Chain A
């Protein structure tokens, strides 16, 4: 299955492989060019991938997560197997880069890359998660797995939901569809990301706008979107997420969103597992159309 990598340093190393719903849940390790460190990512290969090229769906995880959380807790494999989707779950930040302050806080640095390309020292060398998930990782995946690059979608949770939204809004047409679980919708106004954006992007808030979904949507002119957002009503971080701002912007710009406030659900993976099938179906509708 492993073809010769397009870049010499992009060799993939399989870390694990487990059969799941007829397909395989694998984890690979590689040396990232963008992040200049070893990175792990998870790949689910549905049974259909043995005989045909399949669409690929990226899942961006939230703060503190690695590639493991989603693949072990969400139970997405069943729906992905049914719809024949390859699902890629990258890590949430560079690791082991020995940058001072990297591991000081749970909501910044390791496990909290915020899917931006840092422009400030000391982060700008390694913390290029935006380029990693939109460029390097797709190239690696396209080169090594039976994927149809024309059919790519993205979704995420919390910080990853923010990541999925900005990747889509910044690259019209690159992703066939987008959805999010409890996304950080307006990171410029969110305590976590204000800190991170300040460190990664500097104090100029105009630069932040390029990574803020609510701001991006106001100037979006790309192809038709169909955004599905699920949000738990009992989410302990609801105040940080600010979905109302995003909904208001989308309503004004007539960007189609179905925003579902789910009574009683919190921010965790039990919430995700409850609605993961809806989201995978949402993407399958566009990826398998």
Chain B
């Protein structure tokens, strides 16, 4: 499943190993690889391209993938291998091979050599582009390159041969037409003159040689077309990868920016905090020291004053001195008792501060880790994206998410009955889409998806209901009706659940100039379609059913011949005494020994006249059919409206127009009955094959004796509604209906 999802079909990349990454995560891991690039810093686009170039060669180192690439290269050479490119590639490679060797990225770049390549903006400027070009043959060894060139020359050489094959004869046509082709010399030869020179050679008729040359060219054209389609698929896949890489890198860029900004902000904040704390401390210390200084000064003043007082006392009279000395001694003793603080209250140096950078480290550490993605958004089903057994589910991620893989889960939408929980399935894919296979047709499935990266898994997306395309319908071949200008096709749905509409596809079987051209009629709501066609052609018809998911596969084909009118008998209208043969075209009334009881009245079945209606295609054109009769049989043939009374004879009302033959006492009586009346017409030769021409445009119903092209009678009838062929047997015997036959020329005059 994973492999399926990871590839475009038919690209040959299926052989690539599953670890064949080409997503950003490679780049996260591959610093060393990125450094190899001198232009590393030139921008995301360049990196994206580099990534593009990177993934293939790395895969190429795996042996298996290597071969896959080689095969791809072959295709590419076939596709884009113009001679100029080759020469360019060869030349440049010769010059620059050493450089290439060091570049470590033998580019996966054949596409660069193709001037028609659409993604021009992928091209690197100047040098880089050159590097791409020279990588043309640089897959690995020179030997491989040689292979490619040979492969190219093979196709090219063959093409030139073919070219000569049919051009040279044309030139010679102007003088005298060549009539044979010498296979050995590969030239056309005029048989008359030059055959001697090619006596020993293998010679074929010119036409035959021309045909085979054309065949060869057509085959090659077909191959080329196939390759173009493959390459276009491949290119669109590359485009997707390109966009993914571009997006992923853009996201990572933003991611880096926001992370580094966060770290810088954190550091700035820490700096601010530290500076503030430091200033506070400084102020406190200085204030303490100043206070101490002040009190120290005060003490000093006191001491000085005491000193002066004592000196003065020493100069006094003895008596006074002694008196004062005692007092002084007390005072001094008291003063000295008070402790003089000489300790420095604040230390001049500051305390050791620990700087805490743990949070910053954490932030730094988180730069390389990414958040878990948020829930992806699952898309509603795209039109025409489903087949009968698969659907293509798409979703998208939030642009700033980084996603390594998705898990897509699904289960059929149940009918709601409890205890019947349908099994769930899960697939893992890298893309934002997945083609889920092996599903039931015309069935609803609900899908949900989660995104993963190394940080974890996202919540689940909303659930989306997708529907598989229906099963192919089944054409009811036996009920197809047709005429010269149309066919009525009906089919069975083929699906249990209702579908939205049907498409009828038709191809003309014998139209070589329009070979393979398919006409489609779309949006048919019912299991029936009236298709306009060309007269006297054979068509192959297919039907597809459609629902929201897309179209079903084609039904089994049915063929329609638009020769004459083709209808079936409507068995529902058949009188019980009549039997219809296996092929549906012979009406029989068997001999009855005992008279049968009249059947009960009915609205669909004929109960009185022993008749049956045909089911003519509802087209108001010209319809012709024939009836083979026995000369002595009593029969009535003609046309009647659908609602013709079942309990009346045909021709006995205004709803039917008929030829009635009665044979009595060896006389033939022919009546042309409508509303119980008939013109008096005598026919000398009893017809055995009666042609009936119903012409809506001219409002005429005509009867013919086909064997002798004799016109028997024409009714002018107002056919406001559609009529059907009717057949009745008044005596045991049988009628054989022939339809789907061309209208004879003589009939066209009526």
Contacts and interface: CB of A to CB of B under 8 A. Distances in A.
B547 interface: no
A226 B708 contact: yes
Interface stretch (B64-72, B574-582, B584-592, B709-717): B709-717
Contact of A263 (B679, B709, B710): B679
A258 B713 CA distance: 9
Interface string A18-30: 0000000000000
B750 A260 contact: no
Contacts of A250: 684
A261 B672 CA distance: 13
A261 B682 CA distance: 8
Nearest to A254: B685
B680 A255 contact: no
B515 interface: no
B744 to A, nearest CB: 10
Contacts of B712: 258
Contact of A285 (B684, B709, B713): B709
A192 to B, nearest CB: 24
A36 interface: no
Interface residues of A, number: 23
B283 to A, nearest CB: 128
A262 interface: yes
B746 interface: yes
A255 B746 contact: no
A247 B682 CA distance: 8
A255 B685 contact: yes
Interface string B672-691: 00000001111111000000
Contacts of A228: 711
B749 interface: yes
A257 B680 CA distance: 13
Contacts of B682: 247, 257-259, 261
A93 B201 CA distance: 84
B659 to A, nearest CB: 12
B493 interface: no
- Size class of the contact patch on chain B: 10 to 19
Given A259-B681, A259-B682, A263-B680, A289 B745 contact: yes
Contacts of B710: 226, 256, 258
B438 to A, nearest CB: 65
A260 B685 contact: no
A251 interface: yes
A257 B711 contact: no
B705 interface: yes
A257 B684 contact: yes
Contacts of A254: 684-685
B746 A289 contact: yes
Nearest to B748: A285
Contacts of B709: 226, 285
A89 to B, nearest CB: 23
Contacts of B705: 256
A247 B680 CA distance: 13
B252 to A, nearest CB: 86
A281 interface: yes
B680 A256 contact: no
A261 B746 CA distance: 23
Nearest to A284: B749
A266 to B, nearest CB: 16
A135 to B, nearest CB: 29
Contact of B708 (A224, A263, A281): A224
A213 to B, nearest CB: 13
B683 A282 contact: no
Contact of A233 (B680, B683, B745, B749): B680
A281 B750 contact: yes
Interface in A211-268: 224, 226, 228, 233, 247, 250-251, 254-263
B714 to A, nearest CB: 8
A281 B747 CA distance: 11
Contact of B680 (A224, A226, A260, A284): A260
B661 to A, nearest CB: 14
A263 B681 CA distance: 10
A90 B711 CA distance: 28
Nearest to A285: B749
Nearest to A247: B682
A258 B679 contact: no
A222 to B, nearest CB: 14
A281 B748 CA distance: 11
A256 B745 contact: no
B711 A282 contact: yes
A288 to B, nearest CB: 8
Contact of A256 (B681, B685, B750): B685
Given A226-B710, A262-B679, A256 B684 contact: yes
Given A224-B708, A247-B684, A255-B684, A285 B746 contact: yes
Contacts of B711: 226, 228, 258, 282, 285
A288 B681 CA distance: 26
Most chain B CB within a 10 A radius of its CB, from A226, A233, A256, A289: A256
B685 to A, nearest CB: 4
A288 B748 CA distance: 11
A167 B713 CA distance: 26
B684 A251 contact: yes
Nearest to B677: A263
Contacts of B683: 256-259
A260 B679 contact: yes
Contact of B749 (A255, A261, A263, A281): A281
Most chain A CB within a 10 A radius of its CB, from B681, B684, B708, B710: B684
A52 to B, nearest CB: 19
A285 B712 CA distance: 13
Contacts of B750: 281
A289 B710 CA distance: 13
A91 to B, nearest CB: 30
B690 to A, nearest CB: 13
Contacts of A224: 708
B676 to A, nearest CB: 15
A18 B629 CA distance: 50
A289 B744 CA distance: 11
Contact of A261 (B680, B685, B708, B745): B680
A38 B321 CA distance: 209
Contacts of A289: 745-746
Most chain B CB within a 10 A radius of its CB, from A251, A254, A261, A263: A251
Contacts of B679: 260-263
A224 B712 CA distance: 16
A247 B670 CA distance: 14
Interface string B731-750: 00000000000000110011
Nearest to B668: A251
A233 to B, nearest CB: 7
Contacts of A285: 709, 711, 746, 749
Nearest to A233: B680
Contacts of B749: 281, 284-285, 288
A262 B711 CA distance: 16
Contacts of A288: 749
A250 B682 CA distance: 11
A198 B175 CA distance: 81
Contacts of A262: 679
Nearest to A260: B681
B524 to A, nearest CB: 42
A256 B746 contact: no
- Interface pairs A-B: 9 shortest CB-CB: A261-B680, A257-B684, A250-B684, A259-B682, A285-B749, A251-B684, A256-B685, A260-B681, A226-B710
20 contacts: A226-B708, A226-B709, A251-B685, A254-B685, A255-B684, A256-B684, A256-B705, A258-B682, A258-B712, A259-B681, A259-B683, A261-B679, A261-B681, A261-B682, A281-B750, A284-B749, A285-B709, A288-B749, A289-B745, A289-B746
Given A260-B679, A260-B680, 6 more contacts: A226-B710, A256-B685, A257-B683, A259-B682, A262-B679, A281-B750
Interface of B: 679-685, 705, 708-713, 745-746, 749-750
